């Protein structure tokens, strides 16, 4: 019988952050027992995807999210209820006990969860057909674009994706992001696993930290969190 087994991921962030990778099996059927905890709304949303792979990504991550939330809350996975805030960020409908965030790309998904702080996560699949120059103005500070250009051609795409996942994880942690756009966050050059915000730091990023995390070959990933906890 098919089951979805999340992979716990080590990281060097706060110990209250739990992180899992979800590996997708695209030959799985959404009618299988592994997806029994999905709500009717989630099943309808999955059916609205045109591609089975996209439906499978959404459903698999949501099943694991339900299971992990249920384990921490001591309740049944199918009983978990979700809501969205004004910025369409999902949260628990009946509790503020846990914050979570998800991302998926290619054959993998990521889930971050914490009972003490806001979290954000992003994973991206490196596409050799993608021209990073085409969206550089929307995603990179001019100094970052210039730094990437100085790299060997085979290193440029990976560097772009590293910047992208870091900025996405940071913005997803705030819940509202920055109104000026990703290009006004500067995270390159990368010195180590710790994401360092360079140049001017926007006000909504002053209590946010992040680290790049190990990802499967051909992927980049990052987890971010608020340095201020719910308790203050």
Is the pLDDT at 130 greater than 90? The verdict is: yes
For the chain, how far is it from start to end, CA to CA, in angstroms? 45
The span from the CA of 85 to the CA of 159, in Å, is 32
Same domain for 45 and 147, yes or no, is no
* Whether residue 57 has pLDDT greater than 70: yes
Q: Judge whether residue 231 has pLDDT over 80.
A: no
Summarised one tens digit per residue, pLDDT across range 146-163 is 999 999 999 999 999 999
- Bridge partners (DSSP) listed for residue 19: 112
Distances (CA, A) of 14 to 93, 123, 225: 25, 19, 9
Residue 110: strand, helix, or coil? strand
Q: Are 34 and 52 within one domain?
A: yes
pLDDT for 11 equals 94
- Residue 183 belongs to some domain of the structure: yes
Burial of 171 (0-12, 13-18, 19+ CB in 10 A): buried
* Domain presence at residue 2: no
Question: Pairing relation of β-strands 18-23 and 108-114?
Answer: antiparallel
- The model's confidence at residue 203, banded by pLDDT at 50, 70 and 90, is confident
Is the sign of the CA dihedral 180, 183, 189, 194 positive or negative?
positive
> Does 14 lie in the same domain as 68?
yes
* DSSP helix/strand/coil, 133: helix
- Answer with the one of 117, 143, 175 that is the final residue of a domain: 117
Task: Please count the structural domains in the chain.
Answer: 2
17-23: average pLDDT: 98
| 100 located within any domain | yes
The predicted structure's pLDDT at residue 94: 84
List % helix, strand, coil for the chain (3-state, nearest 5). 35, 20, 45
Length of the chain: 232
Q: Which of 220, 214, 231 is nearest to 12 (CA)?
A: 214
Note the pLDDT of residue 232.
56
Instruction: Find the CATH number of the domain harbouring 110.
Output: 3.90.470.20
* Residue 164 forms part of a structural domain: yes
- Shared domain check, 104 and 126: no
- Is residue 64 within 8 Å of 77, Cβ to Cβ? no
Dist. CA 8–CA 187, nearest whole Å: 26
pLDDT of residue 1: 63
> Which are the contacts of 215, defined by CB distance < 8 A and separation ≥ 6?
108, 123, 221
Angle of helix 142-149 relative to helix 153-174, nearest 10 degrees, comes to: 150
Same-domain status, 110 and 154: no
Task: Give phi and psi for 124, each to the nearest 5.
Answer: -135, 145
Decide which of 49, 82, 117 is a domain's last residue. Answer: 117
pLDDT higher than threshold 70 for residue 208: yes
pLDDT of residue 188: 97
Residue 232 belongs to a domain: no
Domain that holds residue 29: 7-117
Average pLDDT over residues 108-129: 96
Kindly state whether residues 59 and 143 are assigned to the same domain. no
Q: In the block, which residue shows the tokens 């949303």?
A: 45
- 113/131 same-domain check: no
Residue 60 to residue 35: CA distance in whole angstroms: 7
What's the Cα-to-Cα distance from 228 to each of 58, 88, 119, 171, 220, rounded to whole Å? 30, 22, 11, 16, 26
pLDDT in tens, 160-189: 999 999 999 999 999 877 666 799 999 999
149: three-class secondary structure by DSSP? helix
pTM value > 0.75:
yes
pLDDT of residue 197: 94
Residue 34 is predicted with a pLDDT of 94
Answer whether residue 101 shows pLDDT above 80: yes
Of the chain, the percentage scoring pLDDT greater than 70 comes to: 97
């Amino acid at each position: 019988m098919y089951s979805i087994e999340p992979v716990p991921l080590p990281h060097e962030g706060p110990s209250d952050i739990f992180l899992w990778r979800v590996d997708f099996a695209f030959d799985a059927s959404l009618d299988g027992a592994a997806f029994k905890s999905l709500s009717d709304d989630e099943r309808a949303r999955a059916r609205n995807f045109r591609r089975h792979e996209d439906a499978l990504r959404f459903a698999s991550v949501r099943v694991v999210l339900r299971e992990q939330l249920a384990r921490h809350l001591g309740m049944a996975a199918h009983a978990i209820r979700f809501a969205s805030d004004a910025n369409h960020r999902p949260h628990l409908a009946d509790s503020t006990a846990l914050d979570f965030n998800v991302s998926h790309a290619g054959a993998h998904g990521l889930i971050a969860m914490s009972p003490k702080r806001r979290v954000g996560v992003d994973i991206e699949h490196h596409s050799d057909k993608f021209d990073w120059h085409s969206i550089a103005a929307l995603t990179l500070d001019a100094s970052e674009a210039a730094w990437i250009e100085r790299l060997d051609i085979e290193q440029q795409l990976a560097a772009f994706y590293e910047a992208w996942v870091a900025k996405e994880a940071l913005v997803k942690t705030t819940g509202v992001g920055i109104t000026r756009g990703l290009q006004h966050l500067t995270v390159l050059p990368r010195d180590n696993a710790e994401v360092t915000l360079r140049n001017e730091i926007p006000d909504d990023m002053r209590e946010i930290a992040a680290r790049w995390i190990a990802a499967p070959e051909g992927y980049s990933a990052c987890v971010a969190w608020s340095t201020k906890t719910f308790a203050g």
